[in-house]
Structure 1
């Protein structure tokens, strides 16, 4: 099964997307299932992981309702207030919905790079482990060392690094990003998403400009822990869905169909436990 492991929907009138303003141009409109389904069909993609875009429980409820009525949504990565004393109970309640496969605090927007290591968050992480949920790490390069410490503290926490932690593409492969991402691959069982790269590249982006970053991810995480995603519709700031899909074909194709199939779907099924949650059909 081909799976787009990172896509978003939003409806502006819901009012909780603080980052989504008219300054973002073409992104400042509603995006829903009817917009995405033709793109999935054109590329033979059978399922997606729908990821939160607002730090509210209300948006998570909205996404879960979409998953109930659209079978191609194989899982939802939602949001919970990790700092709340009610976080464990909130996680337990949400986890009763089999469509919920993970949670994502919006770490990239939090000023303190060590926020994830705060002791008061431990009950939330322990609840995620108890309820078999995946932690989507929305990080920047400066967050990679604390993320490695977090996963050492919670070795049973299944984690996926979003957008390869947003390396600064266009300035060459920075040593700190390369070393820290390699350390995470070596010392943890985290997966890493090959997504969001075109919007981190300076315009006009080119496939060959992305290749050193993808090569490093492949060399460190290997075909067994790389996960493909589109980051649609955010990717359209730099490229239509088709162009990122075509770029992916050039960037992969290394050791044969089995490895590509893992990156384009099989690894997402494992990272989000889709078969165990009955979400793979």
Structure 2
């Protein structure tokens, strides 16, 4: 089964997407399963994992409601206030939903780059582990040291790094390769065997990117995480700012075409299914 491990649905009228502004015209509208269906069909994706885009529990409930009504949504990555005394209780509540699979604090947007190593409550993270829920890490290279400390503290927690840790591709290999490349190597070497999403790269590139633009970054992710720990995701509809669903899927296929078929199948579906318990 082909699975998109990272995409979004939203309704701006809900009012809790702080980053989504009216001047972002390609994105400032409702996006739902009916919008994605023809794009999925075009590339043969049967199921998706929908990921939170607002730091509210209400948005997570909104996504879970969509998931109950649409079979193409295999799982939901939601948001929980992990630093709140109510966090464990909220996780217990959400865990009753069969399609609730993981949580994602929006680390890239927090003013404190070290938040993840000291703010989440121990009982909340332990509850994630007890419910066999995963953790999506939305980070840049500057967050790597703190994420490593967090992961080492909770070795039983399943963690996936979103968007390949968002390399600054627009700066080119000469200007933006480090410290991203070393950060990827450090994360991939952890004994906890973190996973990583092959997603979000187009958004970090300049306009008119090509396969060759993204090739060194994809190759670096494959070198360190291997086909067994990478999962393809579209990051749609954010992807529409600098690419297309079919275009990014084609590029990802081309840049992994040297792998064995079983390895390609893992990246484009099997790994997401196993990691998120779909």
Normalized against structure 2, the TM-score is what?
0.96
Q: Which residue of 1 aligns with 2:41?
A: 41
1:71 aligns to what SS in structure 2?
A: coil
Q: Which runs of 5+ in 2 are unaligned?
A: none
For 1:259 and 1:247, how far apart are their aligned partners in 2?
16
1:34 aligns to what SS in structure 2?
A: helix
Q: Which residue of 2 aligns with 1:278?
A: none
Q: Which residue of 2 aligns with 1:163?
A: 163
For 2:218 and 2:32, how far apart are their aligned partners in 1?
29
For 2:205 and 2:217, how far apart are their aligned partners in 1?
11
After TM superposition, give the deviation of residue 271 of structure 1 in Å. Answer: 1.1
After TM superposition, give the deviation of residue 149 of structure 1 in Å. Answer: 1.3
For 1:123 and 1:72, how far apart are their aligned partners in 2?
33
From 258, 264, 269, the equivalent of 2:268 is 264
Q: Which residue of 1 aligns with 2:241?
A: 237
Tell me if the contact between 2:83 and 2:119 (Cα under 8 Å) persists in the aligned partners: no
Q: Does 1:181 align with 2:196?
A: no
Q: Which runs of 5+ in 1 are unaligned?
A: 275-281
For 1:25 and 1:202, how far apart are their aligned partners in 2?
19
From 190, 193, 196, the equivalent of 2:194 is 190
After TM superposition, give the deviation of residue 99 of structure 1 in Å. Answer: 0.5
For 2:261 and 2:212, how far apart are their aligned partners in 1?
22
Are the structure 2 counterparts of residues 83 and 258 from structure 1 closer, same or farther at C-alpha, using a change threshold of 3 Å? same
From 222, 225, 232, the equivalent of 1:228 is 232
Tell me if the contact between 2:228 and 2:271 (Cα under 8 Å) persists in the aligned partners: yes
For 1:169 and 1:23, how far apart are their aligned partners in 2?
24
Q: How does 1:1-281 map to 2 (within 5 A)?
A: 1-118=1-118, 120-170=120-170, 171-172=172-173, 174-187=177-190, 188-274=192-278
The number of residues matched between the two structures is 274
Normalized against structure 1, the TM-score is what?
0.95
After TM superposition, give the deviation of residue 177 of structure 1 in Å. Answer: 1.1
After TM superposition, give the deviation of residue 119 of structure 1 in Å. Answer: 5.3
CA RMSD of aligned residues (A): 1.0
Which runs of 4 or more aligned residues in structure 1 lie more than 3 Å from their structure 2 counterparts after TM superposition?
A: none
For 2:155 and 2:35, how far apart are their aligned partners in 1?
39
After superposition, give the CA deviation of every residue in 1:157-192 in whole Å (9 maximum; x if it has no partner): 100100011111032152321111111111131100
